Amino acid sequence: MFEIILLMVVTGGIASFARARGGKPWLWGTLTVAGYFLVPFLVVFFAAMFGAGPKALREDSQLWFFISAVAWVAVLGFCARFLLGRNYAKPDGMWSCSNCKYLNQSYAVLSEACKQPYASKALPFS
């Protein structure tokens, strides 16, 4: 039960990162939840295909299921936080959108209200 509640919270966080950094939150949320349940089966399938014995798979299956599921969610969280939106200008802290005046988080590179990219208020060099 705790594991499912934690998955819902983490999925919401990953979707929030994706929305703030220019991704599709429903896609990232779906990838998180679907991958959490499907990736462990793929790991066990490939382990059996590459020669792991049935006895070893039975003994360690719960451990491999959990490790692969957590690794999948961690990789998606890393990608949503650091790889999405890397081509946009980065704010130094919380910032207000010049178009809609919405106060955005420091990790957001797009305004969460109007989707306008962050524009630095620094004066250009002359």
Domain ranges of the chain: 2-87, 89-118
How far is it, in rounded angstroms, from Cα 77 to Cα 31?
11
Among residues 10, 14, 63, 65, which one has the least CA distance to residue 43? 65
How far is it, in rounded angstroms, from Cα 10 to Cα 25?
13
The pLDDT of residue 69 = 93
The pLDDT of residue 56 = 64
Max distance between CA atoms of the chain, in angstroms, equals 71
Crossing angle of the two packed helices 54-78 and 25-49, in degrees rounded to 10 = 150
Residues 91/81, Cβ–Cβ less than 8 Å: no
The pLDDT of residue 126 = 46
The pLDDT of residue 63 = 84
The pLDDT of residue 6 = 95
- pTM recorded for the entire structure: 0.79
Q: Which residues of the chain have pLDDT under 70?
A: 53-58, 120-126
For 104, phi then psi, to 5°, come to -105, 155
How far is it, in rounded angstroms, from Cα 40 to Cα 44?
6
Among residues 17, 41, 42, which one has the least CA distance to residue 27? 17
The pLDDT of residue 8 = 96
